[in-house]
Amino acid sequence: MRTFKVEEPIEKSRLNDDVIKQQFLWPMYYKIKNNNVVKTGSNASQTKGQEAYVELLGKQVELDPYSPYVYISKNFQTPKKYVKAELDWYKSMDRSIIGHEGIESNPTWQSCCTKDEKKEVNSNYGWCVFSEENGSQYDNCLEVLKKDATSRNAIILYNRPEIYKDYKRDGMHDMICTFFSHFFIRNNKLYMVHSMRSNDIRYGFICSDLAWNCFVYQNMYEDLKETYPDLEVGTIIWTSDSMHLYSRHFDDLTELLKNEENYFQNTRGGR
């Protein structure tokens, strides 16, 4: 088992909550309000509650890599118990969901995995990032930056050309949602440019994607400090080609923000 300088994401702030609310949730709320909704196509999962969604295309935000958990509301918060289970599975680099507590019984992973006895997926992100089988992405990235702090080659690739065939192998339905993470050292700070193909804000981004990428960033930062002792913390520059919220969560978001909207309108009207 690989050892990590940071075993679980370290939390030093809650700065990302406001960014997520302002940059993602409010625009999605107004899309719901204006019925600017996308109907889910036949190639996507047709799970109940995913018949439609609101979407932000090409959305980019800067996030604090030491703010891994979200606490916006009861329905928009990070489930830390699940994050721990998923992180343990990722660190195992086992593409099978079998025998992993909180993963094997998870309906999402059950629907994604192969329907043979192996029950494998593509999206064990620990396998994608750390395994020799997938090219030792993290280690290569680290070595590039150790040799040249100005490099533009420090990239962790999650996806691959064969994914068009691999994502439906043996009954699987798992097109990897992440494209890459690209690390830079600029002005003595570590930056991570993270690119997502598809991002369900509730069951993806808030649930575990943010925490996972903070974990990767924090380990890269600590590993690089051995070479650059004075290295400072930068940001995660997060780009989602499709950041979306499914119809099963429309009411939750409306409930969260409608009262705030009414308060702001009444406050302005009373001046």
Distances (CA, A) of 157 to 74, 125, 130, 230: 34, 11, 11, 27
The single-letter code of the amino acid at 183 is: F
Three-class secondary structure of residue 32 per DSSP? helix
Report the distance separating Cα 190 and Cα 217, nearest Å: 9
Place of tokens 């400090």: 225
Active site residue: 141, 177, 207, 214, which one? Answer: 177
Report the distance separating Cα 247 and Cα 132, nearest Å: 39
> Tokens at residue 217, please?
């960033």
Report the distance separating Cα 121 and Cα 110, nearest Å: 9
DSSP string, 124-179: -HHHHHH-TTTT-HHHHHHHHHHH-TT-S--EEE---TTHHHHTTGGG-----SEE
> Tokens at residue 159, please?
């996806």
Report the distance separating Cα 175 and Cα 161, nearest Å: 11
Three-class secondary structure of residue 12 per DSSP? coil
Pairing type for strands 52-63 and 178-186 reads unpaired
The reply to whether 214 belongs to the active site is no
Three-class secondary structure of residue 185 per DSSP? strand
Report, as residue numbers or ranges, the catalytic residues: 177
